[in-house]
Amino acid sequence: MFSMGETGSKLIDQKTLPIEYPNYYDCLSDGYIRAYSTIMTLGPKKVMEQKLLITFNCKENNGISS
């Protein structure tokens, strides 16, 4: 299982989403979709003025999930 967390050099907000994905591909795909949705919500003015960058990574969870 993989889960998604956000990382960045200038950290404004960090979230670990409580979503588990069956594989890396699904985690990565959803990360890009969520990033795109976020920049569309913020709008071009805010993104360009603040030079915003959204990063994320998918980490494999070790252990038993419930």
Local confidence band at 8 (pLDDT 50, 70, 90 cut-offs): very low
Alpha-carbon span 28 to 8, nearest angstrom: 16
Residue at token pair 């591909």: 25
Evaluate if residue 7 carries a pLDDT over 60: no
Q: Compute the half-sphere exposure of residue 31: CA atoms within 13 Å on the CB side of its CA.
A: 23
pLDDT for residue 36: 95
Q: Tell me: the pLDDT tens digits for 30-66?
A: 999 999 999 999 999 998 888 888 888 898 887 554 4
pLDDT for residue 66: 40
Domain boundaries, the chain: 2-60
